[in-house]
Structure 1
């Protein structure tokens, strides 16, 4: 993710007034007045500056639109494939692994891909500033540093959650309509567990995005952070299964991806944690990653 040179300048103006600018515009300004100027940094202004930085980048809008289209489109595709309305592709007739999935899970299957999109976007939101050098301007405007991370978390998490909640609701409704048209079992939003599954799908992709943001702050390198995120979300669950059935049974439910999957499961599975425990475990990973990013942000040089 790259930013226009004036993005940091515009954002910095909203975060705080520079003491040097204050002195220049008011000749004879003393140290006290300069301290007052620096003290004008507020979380609201930092949030405003992060909003500007996030939406100044065209890639943010493109990535969010791609995530919405993927979540809705894959939900419809999997539902249509399960009813035979779309014939499975491939020379051997193989298609998406839809057999045995409940109707809600079918409609929300796009989460598996979309979480990588939001995770990569989260990495870019943080690590991109290090690659462009814009982080220096951000921290000059906000010398205490931590408000920058908290503002990024609030802005990014809020925007992604709202967009993905709308997308998951649309994916569910569209998928159930396809299932009903194919004379297959379908659900409504009022059925038990469905509202939690729809909100859980949005929470999962948002949470992975926040993990990406934290990894971007920890590693300060876009490619390294994205590779680590993909490894944790996709590769690690497969590696655990190679360690034996007993270890996999005891460890797998507590991995980030499996803990998050419990949030969007209408039918509780013995292979997953209960939804409440899954939320606690998945949220714990996010909190710990953000705390680690905050500690290093305070201790390291830019």
Structure 2
């Protein structure tokens, strides 16, 4: 009598179908990071606050300008050379904080909860996690930034219709400024992601982000005048301002140069985050 021996793979019960083998691909990592972003309540709240800041502050500035113009009195110096673009983008400084802070939360939050260990176990090569986080959040931030810039412009330009600030959307420089604002906000969000991965601390990442965007430009003003202009124009916030300003002021970079400087800061932050992600355990 012969004996028939049936070989089974370890862990597979008799009669059960073998489990499908899943490969880690760039597309699947992107989908994973996309799901993580939208399952966080803080994402919806913070993105909403960022969009609200762009729309609300631009509308308030336009209404203020309209009231000063209608009153016929002495114009506030801050509004003397205002345009519908500059009024619209009055809220960029507030929107950048919301989008930058959410970028830090999106990346550093996983380190706070310990979820990053599961993420890196599923994606052992590590760097695709960073690139996917940056790509997903950068896409979301640019959509929110462009929605706020163009939506705010349509509101503000309608408010100041009939005044010297009215421009219309047909001008090429107007479109460049609005698209520049969206790009600036997206890059600030990506820098926030990079700081979250680099510092692995929500508090630390937010502190460095706020210091870079708000405190350092103020400290640079204390430098000798011979140094001040050369240093200030290369700061991320000032380079970004030249990117979305309708007419860059004296001492500011051109829009193209500002974009290159800001991209350079973003690449530097991502490079630091990539180095630490590869060299240090979670």
Distance 1:24 1:226 in 2: 46
Offset of residue 25 of structure 1:
4.5
Distance 2:12 2:193 in 1: 37
Query: Mind listing any 5+ residue stretches in structure 1 that lack a counterpart?
Result: 1-21, 28-32, 88-94
Aligned to 1:65: 48
Per the alignment, do residues 240 and 261 of structure 1 end up closer, same or farther by CA in structure 2, a change over 3 Å counting? same
Aligned to 1:147: 128
Aligned to 2:65: 82
TM-score by length of 2: 0.89
Offset of residue 97 of structure 1:
4.3
Report the secondary structure of 2:217's partner residue: helix
Offset of residue 102 of structure 1:
3.2
Q: Is the 8 A contact 2:61 2:90 kept in 1?
A: yes
**Looking at CA atoms only, which structure, 1 or 2, has the larger radius of gyration?**
2
Offset of residue 291 of structure 1:
1.2
Aligned to 1:7: none
Per the alignment, do residues 109 and 296 of structure 1 end up closer, same or farther by CA in structure 2, a change over 3 Å counting? same
Residue deviations 1:229-272 (CA, integer Å, cap 9, x gap):
10011011110110121111111111100001111111132121
Q: Is the 8 A contact 1:82 1:99 kept in 2?
A: no
Distance 2:267 2:159 in 1: 38
Of 223, 227, 232, the residue aligned with 1:252 is 232
Distance 2:47 2:12 in 1: 41
Query: 1:197 aligned to 2:177?
Result: yes
Aligned to 1:91: none
Residue deviations 1:68-118 (CA, integer Å, cap 9, x gap):
11101110111111222699xxxxxxx994443333111111101000000
Aligned to 2:155: 174
Offset of residue 24 of structure 1:
3.4
Aligned to 2:87: 106
Query: 1:24 aligned to 2:17?
Result: no
Q: Is the 8 A contact 2:97 2:210 kept in 1?
A: yes
Query: 1:213 aligned to 2:196?
Result: no
Per the alignment, do residues 140 and 276 of structure 1 end up closer, same or farther by CA in structure 2, a change over 3 Å counting? same
Distance 1:44 1:96 in 2: 52
Distance 2:215 2:235 in 1: 11
Of 143, 146, 166, the residue aligned with 1:162 is 143
Report the secondary structure of 1:210's partner residue: helix
Q: Is the 8 A contact 2:82 2:165 kept in 1?
A: no
Query: Mind listing any 5+ residue stretches in structure 2 that lack a counterpart?
Result: 1-8, 71-75
Per the alignment, do residues 270 and 297 of structure 1 end up closer, same or farther by CA in structure 2, a change over 3 Å counting? same
Per the alignment, do residues 86 and 23 of structure 1 end up closer, same or farther by CA in structure 2, a change over 3 Å counting? farther
Q: Is the 8 A contact 1:165 1:202 kept in 2?
A: yes
Q: Is the 8 A contact 2:83 2:167 kept in 1?
A: no
Distance 1:66 1:54 in 2: 16
TM-score by length of 1: 0.83
Count of aligned positions: 269
Residue deviations 1:182-232 (CA, integer Å, cap 9, x gap):
x34211111131111101111111111111111111110111110111001
